[in-house]
A and B are shown apart, each in its own frame.
Chain A
Amino acid sequence: MNTNFKSWPILLALGLTSVPLVTMYAYMIIDTVTVSPPGSFIPNGISFGSWSFLWEAPAPGRPSIWSVTLNTFIFACVSTLMALSVSLTGGYALSRLHLPFRGFFLGGLIVLHAFPTITLIIAIFLILQMVGLYDTLAGVILVKAALEIPFGVWIMKGFYDTVPWEIEMAGLTDGATRFTVWRKLVLPQVQPGITALGIFAFLSGWSEFILPQVLAPGADAQVLGVYLQSLISDDTSMDFAKFKSVGVFYAIPVILIYILFNKHLMNIYGGGTKG
């Protein structure tokens, strides 16, 4: 970047502070495919034994990894689709349409956007019990999608705001209905927003732990986060290689998404205020 200054002191400082993380990443992978003698971290053999959870029948009382993965996938995808579609319509309404109490909705959106949703989990738990959605995948999906909405509507409103009014006006005078204008002319303009929000919501759903743990703890609705955590907390042998294999399996989609979309990710994690 800058030729007037030496860069090696910086490299040294950054390198040293990064040692813990790099070690953790490296052994995350190494431990899943090697064996090391006790008391040492230098592998002396290759072994894929810790990956046996992929093909072996699960321990009694534990669901199969594949049904858990399917649950996680359904959870992440459906909640993303819901959050996306609701944000797409809601953001458009707030950005462009006539609404009674428009100012009130906008103010409410900003307040909700900043509001820490996790504080509501106790009440949500009780509400789900009362409406009978407790311990169902549908229930957690609904909650997860709903909690993403203020953020999603906010982001999408921002994208809609940048679409020129004249495009919509032209569409109307060309004979299209307001709905067609939205669907055919405006949505294509906010494509980057859809991608960004979609990736964000998928990652957030895929990684989710507390909501499924609290709202759907049963084996039928278990997701990977809950599965891995229960594996760790139930196991007395501290078989880190096994945990890590499950962990790496769990992280594959995240890493893929990072590699494919890392520009989008930096933007949405930096631009939005999502913690």
Chain B
Amino acid sequence: MRRTDLFGLGFMAPALILTIMFFLAPVVMTGVYSFTNMSTATGISGGAYLISPATIRSLTEQGFQGDAIERLSSESYVVDEAGLEAAEAAGYTPRFIAEIRSTLLGDTFTGRRDFERALKDLSHRPRSIRDLKKATELFQKSVLNVRFETEADFQSALSSLNLNLSPAEAVFLTETAYTGWIWTSANYDRAVNLPSTYRATANSAIYVTFTLAFNVGFGLFLAITTFYLPSGQAAFFRTIWFLPRILPPVLYVLMWKWLTWDTGFLSTLLSHFGVPPHNLMKHTATHAWVVVVLINGFVGASMGMILFSSAIRSIPQSMLHASEVDGANRWQQVRYIILPQLRWPILFTTAYQTLSLLTSFEYILLSTNGGPGSATNVWALYAFKIALNNYGGNLEYGYGAALAMVLVIIGIIASLFYLRLFNFKSMITSPRIEQ
């Protein structure tokens, strides 16, 4: 590698590193996570092996025999050589150990109290009750609610229970007891089979179609009307319509809440005409959609307004004057002179906003939060809520990642399409300084 290349790489390095960390890695990891069952419950690092009452329930549902269930869920204490060795290692006196061996070896107790009582009867027992209780634990043979850090520990504990499981059952038991995340393709199966997925797809389609139509249509309206106004008035209206774009979303949506909530402006105004107050953001699905489209549309229209305005300004004045001299009225001027010039900006706005609307959910999250019910729950919001913002408490990262992956793939395809749109070849001219 030449010195000049190194210099260039040095300049590029910060951008490269951040891009790899926060674009490349997340794209890859979204794919990776989508094939796991990661959630709040499994954690994101490894897990342990634990048989909990919930595990027992799902084992019973799987048809494990009563015997095995019993042993898994019961407490039992067996006095055997292994337990005695453990006691020796734990520092209990040899006399105590010898006494246990001679009197209790081979006995089985099904409750902690029984075993404790038996130990208390021994003459060489330790003084403190705490030590005595500790001693019982050394002979415990049950696995319920015990955390095993490795699979080997878990298996050896199981084998001491003599469960007599078939190999398939043994595998199922281990899998059910594992608390960490595992590899699975179940997320995609689930997405295909859940009706809520189809609901989200339909919602996204409604959202993109209506918002886009509003953005382009209203953007055109704003651009054309302000074009015909004196510059002072035009600047005034452009400011009004540009502000939603730069105001913080939380604040902008707050204004809408004030307008539409049951304690807000519209309800109060309408109450003078005998209309009962409603939270229009969540009253019915139709109300919610109208509000969602308007909230996004008022922001989106300003992009069209700016792009279309500059395109209109670049139309030669003489062309407009000529059409007026030819007797065109304003509508004809718009229809035959202005609109044809806007074909490319309209195409661009449509292409760009389709992708950004499909993946954005901030304004919906802040306003209706997908409600009422899931009437306005679009795909992007659906994925976000499942993985990161779920009041139920269990955040399903894996499933959310699978849903997000669909958007990531759409995003990649659309951006590659962009690459074709740009005249890419013309951009790779090589540097003119060669040192």
Contact = CB atoms under 8 A, between A and B. Distances in A.
In-complex A–B contact (CB below 8 Å): yes
Q: 9 tightest CB-CB pairs across the interface, nearest first? A: A90-B15, A97-B8, A270-B306, A116-B359, A146-B22, A207-B248, A123-B26, A93-B11, A120-B26
Interface string B211-255: 000000010011001111111011001111111111111110011
B416 A178 contact: no
Interface of A: 1-2, 4-5, 7, 10-11, 13-14, 17-18, 20-25, 27-28, 31, 39-41, 85-87, 89-90, 92-94, 96-100, 102-103, 105-108, 110-127, 129-130, 142-143, 145-147, 149-150, 153, 165, 168-169, 172, 178, 203, 206-207, 209-210, 214, 224-225, 228-229, 232, 238, 240, 243-244, 247, 250-251, 254, 257-258, 262, 265-266, 269-270, 273, 275
B356 A1 contact: no
12 contacts: A100-B5, A107-B419, A112-B23, A115-B415, A116-B360, A120-B23, A142-B21, A150-B19, A228-B254, A258-B246, A269-B246, A273-B348
A110 B424 contact: yes
Given A1-B229, A90-B16, A123-B33, 9 more contacts: A18-B240, A22-B240, A41-B268, A97-B12, A169-B433, A178-B435, A210-B365, A240-B258, A270-B310
Given A89-B14, A89-B15, A5 B228 contact: yes
B246 A21 contact: no
A149 B414 contact: no
Interface of B: 1-2, 4-5, 7-9, 11-12, 14-16, 18-19, 21-23, 25-27, 29-30, 33, 38, 44-45, 218, 221-222, 225-231, 233-234, 237-251, 254-259, 261, 263-265, 268-269, 271-272, 298, 300, 302-303, 306-307, 309-310, 320, 324, 330, 348, 352-353, 355-356, 358-362, 365-366, 380, 383-384, 387-389, 397, 400-401, 404, 407-408, 411-412, 414-416, 418-419, 422, 424, 427-428, 430-435
B424 A106 contact: yes
B33 A116 contact: no
Contacts of A111: 412, 415-416, 418-419
Nearest to B356: A275
Given A127-B26, A244-B254, A102 B11 contact: no
Contacts, number: 313
